[in-house]
Amino acid sequence: MNRFRGWLLALSPEGDALWERTPGHEGVNGFNAVSVLEDGSIVAGGDQDGEGWVERMDPRGELLWSVKLPQLEHITALVALPAQRVAVMGTAERSTTGPGISRLVMLESDGWARWEKQLPAEGRGELDALALLPDGGFVAAGRLGSPDSTDWSL
């Protein structure tokens, strides 16, 4: 059985390792999104034990909090927001034959999930990228299944 752990690596401007951490436990776990909040703390997201997983660390890599998001199977993007909040994009229902369903979750500075939205509201689609707009809204990118199609193959 494959055994993996989440891995965070802080690098200097020259690319030298400053510190590294392997949070979580061994399994098929890992991170694939990272962002830095305005206070310099770091948030990383991915999946652990088949659930979405987000960790927040201080600038030295010391754990501040860790949350599992069972409403997500996999985290695809994180966006730092004012007041140390985090927007989390992830896949709620992954499919091996076509698009799944995405969710956008807003985390407060303590890791509490304030609200969430299913995207798309109807049909199937997966969002893999998320960015903050100047007005505080978001732009996301991914793939959308045709609503009138019964063939979900990619």
* CATH (domain of 61): 2.130.10.10
The region, left, alpha or beta by phi > 0 then psi within -120 to 50, assigned to residue 70 is alpha
What is the average pLDDT across 133-142? 94
**126 occurs within a structural domain:** yes
**3 occurs within a structural domain:** no
Output the pTM of the full model: 0.86
Q: Please give the Cα distance from 94 to 115 (Å, whole number).
A: 21
- Residue 152: which pLDDT band, with cuts at 50, 70 and 90? very low
**2 occurs within a structural domain:** no
Q: How much is the pLDDT for 102?
A: 92
What residues are paired with 43 via a beta bridge? 35, 56
Q: For residue 107, is pLDDT > 80?
A: yes
Q: Please give the Cα distance from 91 to 75 (Å, whole number).
A: 6
Q: How much is the pLDDT for 27?
A: 80
In which domain, by residue range, is 35 found? 8-144
Element (H, E) at 10: strand 8-11
Q: How much is the pLDDT for 1?
A: 53
**123 occurs within a structural domain:** yes
- Could you tell me if 92 and 118 are in contact, meaning their C-beta atoms sit under 8 angstroms apart? yes
**151 occurs within a structural domain:** no
**1 occurs within a structural domain:** no
Q: How much is the pLDDT for 93?
A: 75
Q: For residue 70, is pLDDT > 90?
A: yes
